[in-house]
Amino acid sequence: MISLAPVLQQALLPVGTIMGLGYVWRRTRPGGLDAPTARRAIGALVMYLFYPALAFHTVIRAQVNADLVLAPALTMFAIVLGMGLAWALFRQRMFALQGPAQLGALVIACGLPNIISLGIPVLQALFGPDGARYAIYADILGINPLFWSLALWVAVRCGNHGEHLQTPGQFLRVLARLPPIWAFVVGFVMNLLAVPIAPGIDKAASMLGYATMPCMLLTVGMSLSFGHFRSFWRQIAGVALIKLALVPVAVYGLARLVAGAGETTVATTLLMGMPTMMASMILSERFGLDTELLAAVMVGSTLLYFVTLPIGMALLM
């Protein structure tokens, strides 16, 4: 029987600790800097500096293997399915959403899985160091294309920052103004053409990129209020139902049909049953979705993941 201890130590405990520090900041306001102001500043740093560095550093060294096309394909299937289910579920009257900013946050929450900060440690604990390859390929070839297309479109259409898309040209102009897109494209082209990168630049990109995840976790903690869990319990339950149950079951059925009951099927099913992606906070902050609702469902789905992970491992392993 596989122990949960490595998963807790490598993934869930660090995530919870950093979010907790963000919550402490919200309550104590160090240096007189309140959480919303700090959150906006951190969000800008992530969008315009840290995340582009991470995208460039990751893509430029990625070794795309044709044998692992299945993981990105199943990832895209899971994202579209999760978003579609959320669009149908959360428009029901029982959820009483306060405008499109909340609907957009929930649609994104149900589509994007947290496969980097949680997925890599979980798969490495289960399958050894090579298990990380499933998460990396799913992220680069599955999540990134839909994050910067479908999820971005939802954020712009539903957000409160006044950017409305009427034509494809307007959407492309918004896309062209986002530094992570250019970092991804430049890194991919350099990778494809085997262009060498100076060690100093590569190291700088690596150092900046490492700041992305802790910064996003801090913003989640800064957005938390225990009152939000009481106010948004229906939304949290709905996201958990879609993200932690319905989507991984559907992915397992499709993967089993296509690839059989092997390691790829187990790994991709576990990845697609991850809670909400931390990077969704980037879209929420940039385009004016309901960040406090998104933070509540993100943390709620992560806490419930403690329950669904051992169940999934027991059924799959």
Euclidean distance between CA atoms 33 and 35, whole angstroms = 7
Task: Give the DSSP letter of residue 110.
Answer: H
Note whether 281 and 43 are within 8 A (CB). yes
125 pLDDT higher than 80: no
The pLDDT of residue 181: 81
Range of the domain at 197: 5-316
Top-confidence residue, 86 or 148: 86
In this predicted structure, what is the pLDDT of residue 4? 65
Q: Over the stretch 222-261, which tens digit does the pLDDT of each residue have?
A: 877 777 788 899 999 999 999 999 999 999 999 999 888 8
Contacts of 252 (CB under 8 A, 6+ apart): 265, 269, 316
Report the domain count for the chain.
1
Predicted local confidence at residue 102, as pLDDT: 94
Within a 13 Å sphere around the CA of 125, how many CA atoms are in the beta-carbon half? 20
pLDDT, averaged across the chain: 85
Orientation angle between helical segments 35-45 and 280-287, nearest 10 degrees: 110
Q: What tokens appear for 89 in the block?
A: 């579920």
Distance, in Å, from the CA atom of 51 to the CA atom of 26, rounded to the nearest integer, reads 23
Highest mean pLDDT among 2-11, 44-53, 123-132, 249-258: 249-258
Longest dimension (CA), the chain: 57
261-308 residue pLDDT tens: 888 899 999 999 999 988 898 889 888 899 889 989 988 998 898 889
Residues 274 and 112: their CA atoms lie apart, in Å, by 9
In contact, 119 and 135? CB cutoff 8 Å = yes
Q: What is the structure's pLDDT at 107?
A: 97
- Average pLDDT over every residue of 125-142: 79
Task: Output the pTM of the full model.
Answer: 0.80
Phi-psi category of 254—alpha, beta or left, where left has phi over 0 and alpha has psi -120 to 50? alpha
Predicted pLDDT of residue 65: 59
pLDDT of residue 180: 82
Question: What is the C-alpha separation between 252 and 270, in angstroms, rounded?
Answer: 9
Check whether 8 has a pLDDT greater than 70. Answer: no
Question: Amino acid identity, residue 287?
Answer: F
Please state, in angstroms and rounded to a whole number, the distance separating the CA atoms of residues 249 and 290.
Answer: 28
The answer, yes or no, to whether residue 131 has pLDDT greater than 80, is no
Pair of tokens at residue 202: 């590569």
Cα–Cα distance measured from residue 296 to residue 291, given in angstroms and rounded to the nearest whole number? 9
- Angle at CA 51, nearest 5°, toward 114 and 162? 90
What pLDDT does 165 receive?
55
pLDDT at 205 exceeding the cut of 80 = yes
pLDDT bucket at 310, cuts 50 / 70 / 90: confident
**Element (H or E) spanning 256, and its range?**
helix 247-259
Q: What is the CATH number of the domain that holds 16?
A: 1.20.1530.20
Please give the share of the chain, as a percent, with pLDDT higher than 70: 91
**Pick the residue with more confidence: 199 or 316?**
199
Given a cut of 80, whether residue 5 has pLDDT beyond it is: no
Give per-residue pLDDT as tens, 271-282: 999 999 888 988
Give the C-alpha separation, 251 to 105, whole Å: 23
> Measuring CA to CA, which residue among 207, 107, 197 is closest to residue 156?
107
How far is 57 from 153, CA to CA, in rounded Å? 25
Whether 22 and 224 have beta carbons less than 8 Å apart is answered as yes
Q: Which pair of tokens denotes residue 57? A: 């550093």
